[in-house]
Amino acid sequence: MADEHEMTSAEDQALADEWAAALGESGDAGQSDIDALLAADAGHSASGSRLPMEEFGSSPKHNGPVNLEGPNLDVILDIPVTISMEVGATDINIRNLLQLNQGSVIELDRLAGEPLDVLVNGTLIAHGEVVVVNEKFGIRLTDVISPSERIKKLR
């Protein structure tokens, strides 16, 4: 038992020596140098020479029209987004949800023939009507919400 304790402390000492050597190789900075840097930093913040952090407001400083052209837009053009069409919605309690089975009918909040909502990542961008394209469902956009209106809805 004593041999095991001596071996562990010898391993700990070897590890401590390795760390000391590595820290010695990294530079001549000692604790006094670190304390001096911290004291200098505290002096700057006390004298007010630091610039205040910029506050992010709820509205951008530039309230002009949205420009979709420019070099910065190229960075985000290949980001995938999820587009979905919403036929309608309704609220249902869990008791009724658990009673649903094949053939159940759920009444939605939309009238028949009313345009569908087109959502991109959950944000409404357009309205449209259902069409069939090559034996698959599609949607024909009937009303596209302008980019500036979409940004206003995000605020």
The topology (CATH level 3) of 81-154 is Surface presentation of antigens (SPOA) (2.30.330)
Nearest CA among 88, 66, 45, 92 for reference residue 154: 66
Q: Which of 89, 154, 95, 155 is nearest to 125 (CA)?
A: 154
> What are the residues facing 117 on neighbouring strands?
86, 127
Mean pLDDT across the stretch 139-144?
Answer: 91
Kindly report the pTM of this predicted structure: 0.46
- What is d(CA 142, CA 126) in angstroms, rounded to the nearest whole number? 8
- Taking the C-alpha atoms of residue 132 and residue 59, their distance in angstroms, rounded to an integer, is 42
What is the reported pLDDT for 3?
52
CB of 125 closer than 8 Å to CB of 144: yes
More confident residue, 36 or 121: 121
Domain boundaries, the chain: 81-154
For 53-106, how does the pLDDT look when each residue is reduced to its tens digit (9 = 90+)?
A: 555 554 444 545 555 555 567 778 888 989 998 888 899 999 999 999 999 999
Q: Are 130 and 139 in contact (CB under 8 A)?
A: yes
Spatial separation of the C-alpha atoms in residues 146 and 108, rounded to whole Å? 27
